[in-house]
Structure 1
Amino acid sequence: MKRLLLLIPLMLILAACAVKGPLAEDRQGNVVTFARPDTGNTVTVTLSPELTYDKRVHRKFMGATIEGWLYRAEDGTSVLVSSMDRAKFEDLIGRTIDAPRTGVRVYPPQTSWLPRLCQLVRAYVVSLDSDVVSAVKFGPRPEGECDGLVDNDEYMVAHLNEVAEFDRRAEQEIRIDR
């Protein structure tokens, strides 16, 4: 009986360690599901069948390592579905996100021109407890040289129709459910 009483706390500790851990990811075709085993919260990103899975990527971007699932479209655009520790995400974007540390919060998508990449991007972001899930659509590279000097506001004003079409296509291609 004493052995059993000694084993119960050890079993509870092992069970707690097994449940608490990193964000779990599961990709089935064009559906990527992220889950937190410790809270039971999930986020599912469903992409249009017109997007073709390319590969799992590991890239350095602005001091952060981005890992995720890369999909490509025939029009030269791509979508990267990834997750990241919330603190690292906040360091990457340079601000704190306004969501509790537990639960799921979906943010409105945002479109920006990134001069560094010379690309139009639309980001869908969801806080999932202590992590962040994102689906980022990257526009095609502009033809010719891009000097990276056109800022976001200038680009958005000069390309209103292009930005509207890019947003419309992204809305058709990316769906996030919690």
Structure 2
Amino acid sequence: MTGLTDLLARRRSTKAYRRDPIDADVLRDLVATVAGPSRHGRRGHGSAHARYDVHITVITHAVTGVAAAAYRYDQPLDDLVPVTTGDFLAAVADATIDADWLADCPAALVLSADTAAADDAFADQGKDRGTRFCWIETGLIAQNVYLWAAETGFGTVLLGGVDDDAIAAAAAQWLPPGHIVTAVMPVGTVPH
């Protein structure tokens, strides 16, 4: 098999994680690989008109060398920037429809977008066009997370089943203004 074919064969959704902490360098590698600049200065995922409306907030729970907090990925700096301290993963788990187990994961990526701003930017293309592009971009980022997990031996799953009001309340301290959560992707070590 070729490299990509092999990765796609190993790509899977995982809802069981060991409680072991993950290393901060692993988390930084994940975010830099998924959304950071490539050697050509572009990102590893597509975005309509290269707007990159989907943002990544990293919620840490058990990451060695990193406090439990919410961090925003700053693509130009290629770094995680602290937003606010605290362990928010249990509140995110409570806002999902059926993912109580998320509370014990080492970390999660929360993908979000200001869909109203995106709709304004694409108003000449029709109603809700920007929202559509945000959902597509979320999917492209999610696939990159899955491929990273398959390559490194970690686990992830795309959680889209969230209560909109509950997740907005859980994320009020750290979600960028005007954003809605488009997906939650836990990251952790898979049990053997």
Q: TM-score scaled to structure 2, two decimals?
A: 0.29
If the length of structure 1 is used for normalisation, what is the TM-score?
0.31
Name the one with the larger helix percent.
2
Q: Say which one has the larger Rg.
A: 1
Structure 1 or 2: more strand by fraction: 1
